[in-house]
Structure 1
Amino acid sequence: MIKLRCVVEHITYQNSENGYSIMKVNVKGHKHPVTIVGSLLEVPVGSSLVCDGDWKVDKKYGSQFVVESWQEEMPATILGIEKYLGSGLVKGIGPAFAKQIVRQFGLETIDVIEEDIQRLREVPGIGEKRIEQIRVSWDKQKDIKNVMLFLQGYGVSTAYAAKIYRQYGKDSIDKVKGNPYVLADDIWGIGFKTADGIATKLGYEKNDLRRCRSGILYTLNQLANDGHVYAVEEQLIKSACELLEADQEAIAAALAQMIADEDLKCEADAIYLPVFYHSECGTAKRLEALFTAEGNDKKQPTFNLEAITKETGIEYDDVQIAAIKQAVASKVMVLTGGPGTGKTTTTQGIIAALKTAGLDIRLAAPTGRAAKRMSEATGMEA
């Protein structure tokens, strides 16, 4: 990784949400300004930066320095200080006041603002109200810089550091120190493993309750990504132990606490994330309503294999025939199987069986794409 010392000359683009910026900077030894890109949250013109990153050549924009992390140094020249103060980042100081302040205090300007801000009254036109405005804005910029430096020290990229500051503001450092695992819940793009890396650098023990809780949630979410709505308690503890390399007793204690706090739902030995538990309960209630609903017994279809085969032009095997029989005899049936096992042709057989009974048929699918495929397969609107 290359270290680049530079002074911001011009801001070409800056995203106020994530801090992503494109800037022209002056670099010693370079005849013309160079372009740097990266997440540079609220960095104004005139800022002196020490950037870590690498050069790359963009096909459209040419040579650029991609910033991975950065630190700001206070401007060391009269012109640099004036540009910095007049950039608009410090509320209450525009270009005109910046020029007057620097004329009054010279290279001591930054020290005056940091240590004895009331001395700004020596500048004509600056009163108590403006001094307070400057102080609040200056402190905010200090908070941002402190947060960025702290987070970069724990391996957090400037892009995510910007997101963290947007979420927690001046409390960011205390929030992360108090429980870095909240980042996995609150900050889009930061997962358990990133949060765990920060926690390790902060000195968190493997059996720490906060770590165990977050590891359990991560394990359940990974299972959900694989299609599982719950985990068997014994297997969940085992999987979390393998992930965290923590003691089984610590994981079990954390799990018990999460259930007691209703952060997780437990039914028998099945452990659910609350969202999936409530979804399952809702599904069960809907199925129960379908099972107990009064049907139209006068139009119960009879199974006629010859009529079905004639309607579809398909020769069904024994398993498919059994599925069609089950479907026409039941209020609710789930048909499942892997790719190429005959679900579509079986569905066509079910529709044919219902058609021969003269029943009104409606097809529905959970997504537009699935509805289109169902229509293509059956020739009916879904």
Structure 2
Amino acid sequence: MTLKGAIGNIVFFNAENGYTVFQLISDSDGGETTCVGYLPQLNVGQQIEVSGKIVTHQRFGEQFSVEKFSLAAPTGSDGLVRYLASGLIKGVGEATARLIVNSFGDDTLSVLENSPERLAELRGISLKKARAIGEEFNEHRAMQEQIMFLQSYDITLNTAIKIYRVYKDKTESVLKSNPYRLIDDVDGIGFLSADRIAGSMGIGKDSEFRLRAGIVYCLKDGAEKSGNTVIEEQTLKKSVGELLGYDISERAELYEETVDNLIFDLMARRFEDGEKAGLALTRYYNIEKNIAGALVRLDEEAPAISASFKTLIEDFQSANGVKLHSNQRRAVEAAFENGVTVITGGPGTGKTTIVRCVSYICDA
């Protein structure tokens, strides 16, 4: 379903996520429709065409949920005045907007976009203010154009707003150069979403961009979900092939070239152990190395604590009405005898009781 008309009133706008509620005045019959959706900042008087569906809000009744939109310049002098005076440009109220429109007529938007210095010809507008008006007008226009660019590749409005907030006026150039950057730069966009966007932009399945993104994604996924900071390369090739939908062995040269580039760019490291080789993301390797180093230093440098653990443990048992198993008692003692102690066990094996006992002894 598509509606076309002018923006009559902005009821609500969330600057954080772009959620907007506005009134659309129909071109066909002048009727008003409440529209909702994630949109760039709109302005009263703008011509807009929206596609979506009718939904029923539990409190506010029927609304038009916007899924796609396109904007056109406002028409007529009244429409231009309402547009400029809507809060689009700081310091431009109705009187200034009418002065500008009466002076430049149908060329108003062209002047604002291309020759804002001409506004200084008007009484009450300095050259500094004229330039500020032109800069703000063009920033706002660029934002709307970038969002509409993203929409042209079937990117939802909510996602488009997120992308724009990261890249601003560079949105189009970044996505055209390498849409897989979205995976690392924009929260909530994973490989599959970026891959769909890349495909719609004409990036082929055999692209090095795609293979590189697939390798990085599998290494990251292995580290974050399974704790494997280094993945054996045969396992990695299988995972990447399943993700990308082709046999890596058929593109062995491209794979090696891509891995070499990742290593050269300091994004990945290769480790060899005899006939086996593994790959790791440099960031995760460094994190793991730093943690390991800190644990070793803590284990070596922390002094052992001498105390009558038997008496203190018995005091804890009496105070809390519990009796520790011999393994639990040993765990408590180990916590004081070593710089690092790892306590593991399934649910109900008494880990919390051990920690409570250690805390009790520390406070004693």
Q: TM-score, normalised on structure 2?
A: 0.78
Indicate conservation of the 8 Å contact 2:17/2:158, yes or no. yes
Q: Does 1:243 align with 2:243?
A: yes
266, 272, 288: which one aligns with 2:280: 272
Answer yes or no: is the 8 Å Cα contact 1:36–1:66 preserved in 2. yes
Residue 338 to residue 220, structure 1, CA distance change in 2 (3 Å): farther
The answer to whether the Cα contact below 8 Å between 2:335 and 2:341 also exists between their aligned partners in 1 is no
Match of 1:45, SS state, is: coil
Contact 2:45 2:83 in 1 (8 A): yes
Matches within 5 A, 1:178-327: 178-234=177-233, 235-246=235-246, 247-248=248-249, 249=252, 250-268=254-272, 269-289=277-297, 291-292=299-300
Residues 1:289 and 1:143: Cα distance change in structure 2 (over 3 Å): closer
State how far apart, in whole Å, the 2-side matches of 1:381 and 1:227 are: 37
Q: How many corresponding residue pairs?
A: 346
Whole-angstrom CA distance in 2 between matches of 1:45 and 1:144: 16
After superposition, residues 87-236 of structure 1 pair within 5 angstroms as 87-90=86-89, 93-111=92-110, 113=112, 124-126=123-125, 128-234=127-233, 235-236=235-236
% identical aligned pairs:
31
Is 1:344 the counterpart of 2:344? The answer is no
Q: CA distance change for structure 1 residues 26 and 330 in 2, over 3 Å: closer, same or farther? A: same
Aligned equivalent of 1:36: 35
Change (3 A) 1:175 1:334: same
String of CA shifts for 1:334-370, please: whole Å, max 9, x gaps: 4444446xx327x86x89xxxxxxxxx734xxxxxxx
CA distance in 2, matches of 1:119, 1:177: 35
Deviations 1:131-190 (A, max 9, x none): 433332333233223212211111222233233333222222111111111122122222
1:83: Cα distance to partner?
0.8
1:288: how far off? 2.9
What is the CA distance between 1:102 and its match in structure 2? 3.0
Q: Which amino acid aligns with 1:175?
A: V
Classify 1:282/1:125 alpha carbon distance in 2 versus 1 (closer, same or farther; 3 Å): closer
Call closer, same or farther: CA 1:240–1:300 in 2, change over 3 Å. farther
| Aligned partner letter, 1:280 | E
Distance (Å, rounded) in 2 between the aligned partners of 1:21 and 1:63: 15
TM-score calculated relative to the size of structure 1: 0.74
- What value does the CA root-mean-square deviation take over the aligned residues? 4.0
Q: What are the Cα deviations for residues 39-82 of structure 1, in whole angstroms up to 9, with x where unaligned?
A: 22121111111111211111122221111221111122332122
Q: Measure, in 1, the Cα distance between the counterparts of 2:336 and 2:97.
A: 85
Task: Check conservation: 1:301, 1:328, Cα contact below 8 A.
Answer: no
Contact 1:53 1:69 (C-alpha < 8 Å) held by counterparts: yes
Unmatched runs of 5 consecutive residues or more in structure 2: 311-317
Q: Which amino acid aligns with 2:350?
A: T
Shift of the 338–115 alpha-carbon distance from structure 1 to 2, 3 Å rule, reads same
Query: What residue in structure 1 maps to residue 7 of structure 2?
Result: 8
Instruction: Structure 1 unaligned segments of length 5 or more: list them.
Output: 303-309, 352-360, 364-374
Question: For 1:15 and 1:300, how far apart are their aligned partners in 2?
Answer: 61
Amino acid in the other structure paired with 2:133: I
**Does the C-alpha gap of structure 1 residues 138 and 334 become closer, same or farther in structure 2, counting only changes over 3 Å?**
closer
- SS state at 2:215 partner: helix
* Aligned-partner Cα distance in 2 for 1:70–1:225: 37
After the TM superposition, which of the residue ranges 48-57 and 110-119 deviates more from structure 2?
110-119
The Cα shift of 1:213 comes to: 2.1
Number of the residue aligned with 1:366: none
Secondary structure (helix, strand or coil) at the match of 1:281 reads helix
- Residue 20 of structure 2 aligns to a residue whose secondary structure is strand
**Compared CA separation, residues 29 and 236, structure 1 to 2 (3 A):** same
